[in-house]
Amino acid sequence: MNRRSLLALTATGLAVPSLLRAQSWPDRPIRLIVPWPPGGSTDTIARLFQPKLSEALGKQVIIENRGGASGSIGAIEAARSAPDGYTWMFAYDNEATNQTLMRLPYKTLEAFSPVSLVATGPLALVAHSSTPYRTFKDVVAAAKAAPDTVSFASSGVGGLAHVSTTLLQQQGGFGLVHVPYRGGGPAVQDAVSGQVPLFMSNVVIISQHIRAGTLRPLGVTTATESRHVPGVAPFAQQGFPGFDAPTWWAFLARAGTPEPIQRQMREALAKALSDPEVRARIEEQGCDVKATGPEECSRFLAAEIDRWGKVIRDNNIRADS
C-alpha cells in the first residue's frame, strides 16, 4: 500500500466515527446551558424557542440554568463539555466583555463555534416612578452636583449594561455608583420595588414594568429610536453622538462538534425562530430576532470582544468594580 493510499484510508477511518455520530444524532435529550438564573432575559428567550427547537430536532432540549460570576460559571462548564452535540450554550452579551474582564480558562472563539446570532435589542436606562428623574439630563445634573451619590443597578459586573453606562459616564463627565446583581431577574425585582433608583437593562425583562408605569425610561442604547420603547430618545440624540450599544443573544456550539451536527442544529434553530408565534413572542419582549448564519455571528462576536475590551481597559473596570 503506497503512502497516499494509507493517508486516504487513515483519513477515512478518522471521519467514520464522526459521520456515524452525526447520522444517529440526536439519540438522547440535548442540554442547553443558559449561564444565568431563571427569570432573566436569556432564560426568557431560550424558553420561548425551546419547545419548537425540541420539536424540530425530535428530542427534548433541556434548559440548564448555571448562573453566577456574570455568566462565566455556565460558560466554563459549556467550554469544558464534550464536543458531541449534546451540550450547547445560549450566550448573553457578557460573553464578550468577560473575555477582557476575567481570567478565564478559555477564549470564546476558540472554545465555541458560533451557530447563530439569535436576537439583538436596546438597553434602556429606567428610573423608578418615585424618583425625581424625569429625563436623562436630570440624572446627569444630579450626578455632577453630588458625584458618586446616584446609583444604578445592572445584571452584573462587566456586562454590556455596566460597560455601556461606564462609557456614557466617561463621555459625559459624570459619575454613578454601580450596584451589580447576579442576573437580570434579581435586579429587576429591586428596581421595581424602588430599592435602586436607576436600572440599565435590556428591554426584555422591564417592558411590562415600563408599560405599567412603575419604571420610567430615560434613554436607549441603540443608535436610533427603538420600536420597543417608542418615544424614548437614544443617548446618541441626548448629547452622546455616535453612541450605539445594542444587547444580544447568541447560540453557540462546543468547538469540535462535527459539522453535520452543527448544520442540523442550525437548521432546527432557524426553523424554530421562523415560526410566526415564536418570533412574535420573542419580539414582543423587546428585541429583534436576527437568526443569522455562523459566519455573521462569528464576525459580530469578534467585533464585540474587541470594542468593549478597549472600554474595559481604558476605564480600568475590574471584576470587583
In words, the CATH class of domain 123-237 is alpha beta
Lowest mean pLDDT among 20-24, 33-37, 62-66, 306-310: 20-24
Q: Is the Cβ–Cβ distance between 276 and 151 less than 8 Å?
A: no
Per-residue model confidence as pLDDT tens digits over 172-227 = 999 999 999 887 888 999 999 999 999 999 998 899 999 999 999 999 999 999 99
Average model confidence (pLDDT) for the chain?
93
Given a cut of 70, is residue 1 above it in pLDDT? Answer: no
pTM of the model: 0.86
Residue 157 pLDDT: 85
Joined grid coordinates for residue 27:
439519540
Contact 184, 93 (CB under 8 A): no
pLDDT digits (tens, 9 = 90+) for 54-107: 999 999 999 999 988 888 999 999 999 999 999 999 999 999 999 999 999 999
Class of domain 15-121+246-314: alpha beta
pLDDT grade for 155, boundaries at 50, 70 and 90: confident
For residue 13, pLDDT beyond 90: no
Fold matches, 15-121+246-314 and 123-237: yes
Q: What are the boundaries of each domain within the chain?
A: 15-121+246-314, 123-237
- Residue 227, classified by CB atoms within 10 Å of its CB into exposed (0-12), middle (13-18) or buried (19+), is exposed
